[in-house]
Structure 1
Amino acid sequence: MLFRQLYEPDSSTYSYLLSCPESGETVIIDPVLDTAERDMSVLQSLGLKLTYTIDTHIHADHLSGARRLKALAGSSICYPAVDELACADIGLQEGKPFKVGNIDIHPLFTPGHTDHHHGYLIHTPVQSMLFSGDALLIDGVGRTDFQSGDSEALYNSIQQKYFSLPDDTLVYPCHDYNQRRVSSIAQEKARNAHIGGAKSLEEFKTIMANLDLPYPRKIDFAVPGNEQCGQCPDNVPSEFRGPCARHDQG
């Protein structure tokens, strides 16, 4: 399997390119509109054609690149099936592995950051790779104070779905704000400031209730735009319109 970790600095978002060398089928997990052309250049440099995009959830901090990449590469758009998005070509759900050539991607329903959030697990001959979305970050977790967030649901998702994985499972989050690129289940179980160290549900809920985080600066246009797979709404402020202005979103 060919693997690349890609980064979008404005929203501190990681996207993940995975390709099956036998079939040539290729997927990008959590693409960002702002870097769609960059992603196409990476694909071209590797001699790859994009087959699918997959989003872990309806993001509030950036517009998805799914729609733009479909226009550029003809890729199919994949979202969690429970989102029931009219713009999605393929719905993914837990218990039904999604094949990208010889790569089996296992969706994990992990609500809490949003009520429809999914992580994606891949087993390789060396070790497993978890693309944890916004649910589990490196030394942190996703917010639960907006967009159907639920601290108790997130605690249960992480404890039951993520922390039950083998300790050497690599954790690749959708975001990091401190230039960290990868963690492991063992490290997050031991050291995660929000949920590690065998914290109880009540401890976790108290931590989450007292984060005092600012209002997400892109949420008012990102959520409705991502409900259309990365369409730019009319209410995108001028300072964020650059990626929208470059593209006919159709």
Structure 2
Amino acid sequence: MLVFRQLFDPPSSTYTYLLGDSDAGDAVIIDPVFENVHRDTALLRELGLRLVATLDTHVHADHVTGAWLLKQRCGSQILLSEASAAANADRLLKHGDRIPFGTRHLEVRATPGHTSGCLTYVLDDHGMAFTGDSLLIRGCGRTDFQQGSPGLLYRSVQDQILSLPPECLLYPAHDYRGLTVTSVAEEKRFNPRLGGAVDAADFAGYMNNLGLPHPKLMDIAVPANLRCGRPDGSATVPQEPAWAPLTCTFSGVWEIQPTTLEERIAGSHADDIQVIDVREPQEFTDALGHIRGARLLPLSQLAGRANEIERGRPVVTVCRSGARSAQATVLLQKSGFKEVANLAGGMLRWRAESLPVEDGGN
């Protein structure tokens, strides 16, 4: 079965797409964003998918790709256009190439015009296409830098995208209004730049008079993307927490596993970690019991009593199932705590793994 997820980066209004074959367990990610690598790897892990490749639709000017960082984390290959002249790619793509993931594949179509290296990725059944900036929802990418050309873009869109079946769904690299998907039939009828009776001369006249300012991050993003997102000396790489082995969930919560926490509090690191139990008082001493050394601070009181928790030591929040304590991590982070993690599965997991408790039943 095909797995499909559309993800969004608010600062750059970038869409990232994950496609996977659930039977084979292989997946690809289109247009990853550097700052969202934790999110993307968490989603892959939760869906049980193995990332085989990252695909960029073009050398972006408004964000840095996460391709290089995902390769370091997942062992995935970096793929983008041979016309991009980018370094650090594992495979440079040309028109007509195929990109397999499990039993499915994407077809590569060269669609230059926004940049010289723009590609559109078309799913094997022609039911979906990922158009980058070549075709946006009721619009298209600009053509006034990075070897852009109105004439090239017009031909690319007409010949390679709008020639797909009318029902083919089109997914762009960006949308600034919250729109998520369109179709070939819609864009042929309603795209004011490229649809209807618009010809190449109409399109060129429109594009040559946009008068847009350059993207704010262009001077940073383009050089970084020509390295496939590999940081230079001035770049900050998202760091894993150093105080314990943690896992970030797709919902953005850092978690610690019960056995890892037990090892920490039973060993020489016992004084390094604060365990905050956010259940109600009667739960603290019920059949589940509580973790030795844990401090009771109910979630309903946490926001007003956060100043009672030391800021210089990491905090692990605990509840029955992990739901309330996940919310507690969010509240503590909003209060300025930097090193906070949720106990995965809460006391239910803790007891299921036969870890020691105080005041609990057998």
Q: Who is 2:54 aligned against?
A: 53
Alignment of 1:87-98 (within 5 A): 87-98=88-99
1:54-93 correspondence runs (5 A): 54-93=55-94
Separation of aligned partners in 2, 1:57 and 1:91: 12
Tell me the alpha carbon deviations over residues 135-154 of structure 1, each in whole angstroms, 9 at most, x when there is no partner: 00001000101111111100
CA distance in 2, matches of 1:94, 1:246: 34
C-alpha distance in 2, partners of 1:48/1:164? 32
What is the aligned partner in structure 2 of residue 246 from structure 1? 238
Aligned to 2:135: 136
| Distance of 2:166 and 2:5 partners within structure 1 | 22
CA distance in 2, matches of 1:83, 1:247: 29
CA contact (8 A) 1:133 1:174 kept: yes
Structure 2 length-normalised TM: 0.64
Secondary structure at 1:136's aligned position in 2? coil
Paired letter, 2:238:
R
Give runs of aligned pairs for residues 107-118 of structure 1, distance below 5 A: 107-118=108-119
State the AA in 2 paired with 1:231. Answer: R
Contact preservation (8 Å) 1:92, 1:98: no
Give 2:37's aligned residue: 36
CA deviation after TM superposition for structure 1 residue 69, in Å: 0.7
Q: Which residue of 1 aligns with 2:187?
A: 188
Matching residue of 1:172: 171
Structure 2 runs not aligned, ≥5 long? 241-362
CA contact 2:14–2:175 (8 Å) conserved in 1: yes
Q: Which amino acid in the other structure matches residue 154 of structure 2?
A: Y
SS at structure 2 position matched to 1:51:
strand
Deviation at 1:123, TM superposition (A): 3.1
> What displacement does 1:31 show?
0.5
Instruction: Identify the range of structure 1 (174-183 vs 43-52) with the bigger mean alpha-carbon deviation.
Output: 43-52
**SS in structure 2 at match of 1:98:** strand
2:50 match: secondary structure: coil
Give the AA of the match of 1:166: P
1:122 paired with 2:123, answer yes
- The 1-side partners of 2:128 and 2:68 are apart by 26
Superposed displacement of residue 245, structure 1: 4.7
The amino acid of 1:218's aligned partner reads L
Sort the Cα spacing of 1:205 and 1:233 in 2 relative to 1 into closer, same or farther, 3 A. farther
What is the alpha-carbon distance in structure 2 between the residues aligned to residue 26 and residue 68 of structure 1? 16
Q: Report if the CA contact (8 A) 1:169-1:184 is conserved.
A: yes
Q: TM-score normalized by structure 1?
A: 0.91
> 8 Å contact 2:83–2:116 — kept in the other structure?
no
Instruction: Count the aligned residue pairs.
Output: 239
Whole-angstrom CA distance in 2 between matches of 1:194 and 1:61? 22
Residues 52-83 of structure 1, C-alpha deviation per residue, up to 9 Å, x if partnerless?
10111111110000011111111111111233
Pairwise CA RMSD of aligned residues? Answer: 1.6
Q: Unmatched 5+ residue regions in structure 1? A: 236-240
* Deviation digits for residues 148-207 of structure 1 (CA, Å, limit 9, x no counterpart): 111110001001111111111100000001111100001011111211112011111111
Instruction: Specify the alignment match of 1:238 in structure 2.
Output: none
Partner Cα distance (1:137, 1:234) in 2: 34
The one-letter code sitting in structure 1 at the alignment partner of 2:121 is Y
Paired residue type of 2:203: F
Q: Which has the larger radius of gyration?
A: 2
Taking the aligned partners of 1:81 and 1:44, their CA distance within structure 2 comes to 30
User: Aligned partners of 1:106 and 1:245: how far apart in 2?
Assistant: 32
Residue 20 of structure 2 is aligned to residue 19 of structure 1:
yes
CA distance in 1, matches of 2:133, 2:77: 22
| Structure 1 residue runs of 4 or more that deviate by more than 3 Å after TM superposition | 232-235
